[in-house]
Amino acid sequence: YQKHNWRYTMTGNLEKLAEMASGMWTEKAVSTDDIGFVLELGDVKMSFFSHDGLPNTAFCRACIASLGETKCPDDFAEAALAGNFFWSGTNGATLSYNEDENAFYLTDRFDDDAFGDDDAFEAYIAGFMRTVMDWRERLAIYLPEPQDNAEEVR
């Protein structure tokens, strides 16, 4: 196993997407830096970035869940691998495991000029969010039951 030394950059087309996102959602939801931008919708943070070695390509990534929270991480990993089979359960995106964070991510790769207008970009975001939320729901069966700390009423 070898870790890659990725070099990320903010391309002109990503800057356009960041501007579109700022116009469609509140500016508080969008933050930019020299690598890319982050769109926060509720508790989902979608990171958009590109890579020097892959021209005209951009990525969108969101954390599905930390495996430290799961009661059956192996079962969830098996479900994630099944969902990745020909991208049948991921809408074309890829589920992956980040060893450093002990977390699963959903990552999508697209042409960085794929969205010509707000409607196309908004439809993409809606589809990606549905997939993230679907996998969070699937994970819920592997989470421990919440503890009820309320005192008994007698």
Taking only the tens place, the pLDDT of each residue in 95-125 is: 888 888 888 899 999 998 888 888 999 999 9
- Written as six digits, the tokens of 146 are 């919440």
79 has a pLDDT exceeding 70: yes
Question: What is the chain's length?
Answer: 154
What lies within 8 Å, CB to CB, of 29 at 6+ separation is 21, 39, 40, 41
> pTM higher than 0.85 for the full model?
no
Encode pLDDT of 24-70 as tens digits.
887 667 888 778 889 999 899 999 998 877 888 899 999 998 777 66
- Written as six digits, the tokens of 121 are 């970009």
151 has a pLDDT exceeding 70: no
What lies within 8 Å, CB to CB, of 15 at 6+ separation is 32
Q: How confident is the model at residue 86 (pLDDT cuts 50, 70, 90)?
A: confident
Tell me what pLDDT residue 52 has.
77
- Give the DSSP letter of residue 56: T
DSSP bridge partners of 37? 32, 48
Q: How confident is the model at residue 2 (pLDDT cuts 50, 70, 90)?
A: very low
- Written as six digits, the tokens of 145 are 């039951």
In angstroms, the CA 107 to CA 47 distance is 9
Tell me what pLDDT residue 5 has.
52
Q: How confident is the model at residue 77 (pLDDT cuts 50, 70, 90)?
A: confident
